[in-house]
């Protein structure tokens, strides 16, 4: 073998090695992106459950005040009302505090001390004053419960009189924080390669830990937030080894591709030709769980359909009881339920229709207007039957909203917004679980 052939072989081998290195980096980058999306979905689901429980506490405190506080300032039927508003394993106690003094407590406590005054106790005074002056509900805690465990207080100020300007006192719901976070610990606590921190912001901006690690113990986590009455709650997640910096992976991949390109040019110089390579990189617009096109793909297809068709329909569809099912059976069953729902929708939709997943358990169907009526009948028949997941049969209640082109507009975002708005209206009209 001549020296020229040996040099050519060495360059080809080096070029293939560097190209495989670049491919490996691209695969690692893709896997980490999918891991981020999976963690984001888990965090969004768990924080959404906590937000809904806070909403339940607000409703309980509000109804307690409406039913028990009389126009003259008296209190009636407190034990019966408080008992009816208790949520097993979540709301541990209900309180009414006229003028800030905790006089009414359910379940009743055998106390020999006088009622606590929230405006004089050092630990409660600042929050009580802020709650009274702003007229906004406050979340206080974590606190140690006398029955054991930790709790969160959802406190609502009560006003009466003309135009509701006279301060009466507070209505409070005490939530069992450990029970509230049980699902969160079940989702993240058993994953040895994942670390998380759940915390909220206090009135002074200081971080208050609720579960997991201290926020300072995480390096550069994926973080989402949820708006709460007196400060947002945050859920931060990262692998035990931390997320790899995106710039590092991109730089190494770019360098590998550059070296591979230079070596390829040397090979072409030996052969005296420059091959024409075309490798368009298509953006991955598919949901990693169901492999359905995602929201971005839907908006792009809407633009294409608006430009090329006279009329069509867009259906936004979800399950009214998905949150309850996810909370009852766990995150893994929730994912299987989403996959089962996608499979069932694919089996019944017309060939010309397209299926998308736009959110956690929200799908969209793009189809011709003529096929919408028959599909609606099929949907009702199919979802009337329980969905079988292994040995479990789960009853599903679909909710949907329909937008029509051109009746509901010519802008993709507007059409999607109309369908989602009508789906949410259908959700609100569903009977409670």
Higher pLDDT, 194 or 410: 410
pLDDT, position 34:
77
Model pLDDT, residue 263:
65
Q: 114-128, 225-239, 245-259, 297-311: lowest mean pLDDT where?
A: 245-259
Structure tokens at 422: 């009508």
Per-residue pLDDT for 386 more than 70?
yes
Give the closest residue to 210 by CA, choosing from 201, 218, 225, 199. 199
Per-residue pLDDT at 46: 81
The pLDDT, as a whole number, for residue 39 is 77
CB 201 within 8 A of CB 217: no
pTM of this prediction? 0.50
- pLDDT, mean of residues 17-23: 67
Digit-coded pLDDT (tens) for 159-180: 987 677 789 999 999 998 888 7
Residue 54: per-residue pLDDT: 87
Hey, where are the domains in the chain? 55-179, 295-428
Geometric angle at alpha carbon 80, from 69 and 100, rounded to 5°: 40
User: Partners of 91 in the beta sheet?
Assistant: 175
Report which of residues 119 and 7 the model is more confident about.
Answer: 119
What secondary structure, in 3-state letters, does 221-243 show? CEEEEECCCCCCEEEEEEECCCC
Give the per-residue pLDDT at 257: 65
| Three-state secondary structure call for residue 110 | coil
Mean pLDDT of 206-218: 84
pLDDT band of residue 216 (cuts 50, 70, 90) is confident
Q: How confident is the model at residue 357 (pLDDT cuts 50, 70, 90)?
A: very high
Dihedral of CA 319/321/325/327: which sign? positive
Please state whether 38 falls in left (phi above 0), alpha (psi between -120 and 50) or beta.
alpha
pLDDT of residue 187: 67
User: pLDDT tens for residues 317-343?
Assistant: 998 888 888 788 888 888 888 888 898
255 or 210, higher pLDDT: 210
Residue scoring higher pLDDT (188 or 356): 356
* CATH for the 55-179 domain, from 3.40.980.10, 3.30.750.80, 1.10.10.10, 3.30.450.20: 3.30.450.20
Tens digit of each residue's pLDDT (9 = 90 or more) over 408-422: 989 999 999 999 999
Percent of the chain predicted with pLDDT > 90: 28
CATH, domain 295-428, list 3.30.70.270, 3.30.70.3420, 1.10.3720.10, 1.20.1050.10: 3.30.70.270
81-85, 185-189, 269-273, range with the lowest pLDDT: 269-273
- Choice between 161 and 132, residue whose per-residue pLDDT is larger: 132
Q: Report pLDDT for 283.
A: 42
Is the pLDDT higher at 23 or at 172? Answer: 172
Judged by average pLDDT, the poorest of 37-51, 157-171, 196-210, 280-294 is 280-294
More confident: 394 or 413:
413
Would you state the pLDDT for residue 282? 37
Instruction: For residue 410, give both structure tokens.
Output: 């010519």
Q: What is the mean pLDDT of residues 124-151?
A: 86
125 vs 181, residue with greater confidence: 125
Across all residues in the chain, what is the average pLDDT? 81
Per-residue pLDDT, averaged over 121-141, amounts to: 88
Indicate if the pLDDT at residue 377 is higher than 90.
no
Residue-wise pLDDT for 244-301, tens only, equals 665 666 666 666 667 666 666 666 665 554 333 333 333 468 888 888 999 999 999 9
Structure tokens at 60: 């309980």
Query: What was the pLDDT predicted at 190?
Result: 58
- The 3-state DSSP class for residue 272 equals coil
Per-residue model confidence (pLDDT) at position 273: 42
């Amino acid at each position: 073998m001549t020296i020229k052939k040996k040099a050519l072989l060495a360059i080809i081998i080096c070029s293939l090695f560097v190209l495989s290195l670049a491919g490996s980096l691209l695969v690692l980058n893709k896997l980490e992106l999918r891991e981020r999306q999976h963690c984001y979905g888990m965090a969004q689901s768990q924080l959404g459950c906590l937000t809904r429980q806070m909403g339940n506490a607000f409703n309980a405190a509000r109804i307690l005040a409406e039913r028990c506080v009389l126009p003259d300032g008296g209190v009636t039927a407190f034990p019966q009302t408080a008992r009816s508003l208790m949520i097993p394993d979540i709301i541990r106690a209900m309180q009414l505090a006229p003028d800030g003094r905790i006089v009414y407590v359910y379940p009743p406590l055998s106390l020999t001390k006088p009622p606590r005054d929230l405006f004089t106790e050092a630990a409660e005074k600042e929050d009580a004053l802020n709650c009274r002056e702003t007229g906004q509900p406050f979340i206080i805690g974590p606190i140690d419960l006398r029955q054991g465990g930790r709790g969160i207080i959802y406190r609502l100020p009560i006003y009466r009189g003309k135009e509701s300007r006279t301060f009466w006192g507070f209505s409070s719901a005490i939530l069992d924080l450990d029970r509230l976070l049980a699902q969160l610990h079940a989702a993240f606590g058993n994953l040895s390669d994942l670390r998380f921190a759940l915390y909220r912001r206090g009135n002074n901006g200081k971080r208050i830990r609720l579960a997991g690690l201290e926020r300072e113990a995480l390096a550069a986590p994926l973080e989402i937030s949820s708006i709460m009455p007196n400060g947002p709650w945050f859920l931060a997640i990262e692998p035990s080894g931390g997320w790899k910096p995106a710039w590092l992976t991109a730089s190494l991949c770019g360098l590998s591709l550059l070296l591979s390109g230079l070596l390829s040019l040397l090979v072409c110089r030996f052969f005296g030709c420059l091959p024409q390579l075309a490798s368009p990189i298509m953006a991955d617009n598919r949901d990693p769980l169901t492999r359905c096109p995602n929201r971005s793909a839907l908006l792009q297809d809407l633009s294409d359909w608006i430009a090329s068709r006279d009329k069509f329909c867009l259906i936004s569809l979800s399950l009214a009881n998905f949150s309850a099912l996810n909370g009852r059976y766990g995150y893994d069953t929730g994912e299987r339920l989403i996959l089962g729902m996608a499979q069932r929708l694919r089996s019944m939709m017309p060939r010309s229709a397209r299926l998308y997943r736009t959110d956690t358990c929200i799908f969209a169907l793009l189809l011709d207007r003529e096929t919408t009526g028959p599909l609606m009948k099929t949907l009702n028949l199919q979802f009337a039957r329980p969905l079988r997941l292994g040995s479990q049969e789960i009853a599903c209640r679909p909710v949907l909203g329909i937008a029509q082109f051109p009746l509901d507009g010519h802008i993709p975002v507007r059409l999607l917004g109309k369908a989602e708005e009508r789906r949410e209206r259908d959700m609100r009209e569903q009977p409670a679980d």
